[in-house]
A and B are shown apart, each in its own frame.
Chain A
Amino acid sequence: MIKFENVSKQFPLGNKALDSVSFTVNKGEFIYLVGPSGAGKTTIIKIILKQTVPSSGEVSIGDIRLDWKDKSQTENMRRNIGVVFQDFKILHDKNIFENVALGLNILGENKKNIITEVNQALKLVGILEKKEMFPTQLSAGELQRAAIARAVVGNRDIILADEPTGNLDPTTSWEIMKIFKKLEKVKTIIFATHNTDIVNSYRKRVLTLKDGKIIKDEKKGGYDL
């Protein structure tokens, strides 16, 4: 469970990214974060990842209240979260297998487990046959699949997806959504997006943000620009 209680984030120049935001995401829930650019979607993801410190309010993940000064808590917590970025963040000097294995190496998994888990994850996202290839040899959609595989390995319970279809064409975006559909049964997923088609076609809980505030929280919501 992820819980935000009156969380605000104000930048030094005074602009507010979040204004007293409260919501709860239950374990195994799929939730869309929608809203225009600057609404606060990425700030919420960054706060969950402890990349950004909120100006006020409290955030809990499971039973743990986030302590912004506790570095070991940050490391342990991040080991339970997989992240998918709009720009993929795939390392170009490593092949696809090595990219996906990165998180497992950090977790200290043994070589045998790494091979098994990475192969399973690559099979799940449909690019197992491309595991020896380097990022320059893959399309954008394939790179995003690799990024999703990297996010799911290592028994990570939570997946944060920050506009994962933002750089993809509509067809590829739908293929990526199919992978998230498979994952929603076993992971808690927070999916930040602009894509109205995806939100309106694949109906799930929607948190709509505007100017740092939650203006709508609908169980099977939609998204109108």
Chain B
Amino acid sequence: MNLKNLITSIKRTPYQSLTSFLILFFTLFLSLFFFNMTSFFNGILSYVETRPQVTVYFQDTVEEGDIFSLRDELSASGKTMSIEYVSKEDALEIYKDLNKNNPLLLEMVTAEILPASLEVYASQPEYLSEIAEFLKKQPGIDEVVFQQNIVERLVGLTTLLRRSSVVILFFLLIISVIVLMTTTAFKIALKKDEIELMTLLGASKSYVRRPFLMEGMFFGIVSGTAAFAIFYLIFLYANTFLKSYLAGIPNLPFYNLGNLNIIVWPPSIYFILLSYIAIILFGAGIGFVGNYFSTSKYIK
């Protein structure tokens, strides 16, 4: 089926075509929104996970050897990704670096008054509170600081977003497929004579259904392109606000694929391209599946 036939077919059934386009547009726009949101929150979560998640400060009486024993015990649990030891001297260096513009503060501080510490990175955010509780029970601990609230909230939010997007998209997918099936059934009814004639002339079922499948995919691609264009136009409009609101958040890689330069925030050209390809493939897929079911049912 060439483009001319496709356009003719759409012109012959303008309302059915518009219905197919709108339902696909709506589904794909929301899909794009959820795709971007979950990618963003996943990036944020990954970023937070790169920060020291639990920092445990030791009293001055604790020997370095005891700290290393505790570090080894934590490592052996398999619940940590890495543990960094910060000695009193290291702490002083960090302090100096942080206060290099204020010599007065530097004069009064020596390594002796700063505590040694361990910076613990959990392998899973869910282990954070368990690690913190374990450390609190150890002897010679001065203080345990960890980002439980922010990580738990992020994990909760990301999970909620993923689950709700799956449920919403599932229903939208079902609705889209049913609407496409219905509009295509109408188109098949309109082309009943042509289909009958083609089968009498020896056309196979796949030959007869091919234009409908192409049309479904065409709708998916056009709707996906429209959804993509509108979504990124809105994004461009809100870009200044978003940049100031999210100031301080560094580059967020897409599912740890930062080395491919696929950055969710601020969105790199590769991420935008990936979004476009994903949405038109998804749209073409919905169009194909909807019309495949319809032609299977109505073309005998």
**A contact residues vs B (CB 8 Å cutoff):** 49, 51, 71-72, 75-81, 83, 89, 91, 93, 102-103, 106-107, 150
Contact = CB atoms under 8 A, between A and B. Distances in A.
A51 B201 contact: no
Interface in B162-215: 193-194, 196-205, 207
- Give 3 closest A-B pairs by Cβ, nearest first: A79-B202, A78-B202, A103-B201
Contact of B200 (A71, A72, A78): A78
B201 A79 contact: yes
B193 A75 contact: no
B201 A106 contact: yes
Interface of B: 8, 12, 193-194, 196-205, 207
Chain A at the B interface: SS class: helix
A152 B159 CA distance: 65
Contacts of B196: 89
Chain B at the A interface: SS class: helix
A102 B12 CA distance: 19
Nearest to B200: A83
A203 to B, nearest CB: 30
A93 B12 contact: yes
A106 B193 contact: no
A150 B200 CA distance: 12
A102 B201 contact: yes
Contacts of B193: 89, 91
Nearest to A79: B202
Given A93-B8, A93-B12, A106-B207, A49 B200 contact: yes
A91 B197 contact: yes
B15 to A, nearest CB: 17
Contact of B197 (A79, A81, A89): A89
A110 to B, nearest CB: 14
Contact of A106 (B8, B12, B198, B205): B198
B200 A102 contact: no
A39 B207 CA distance: 35
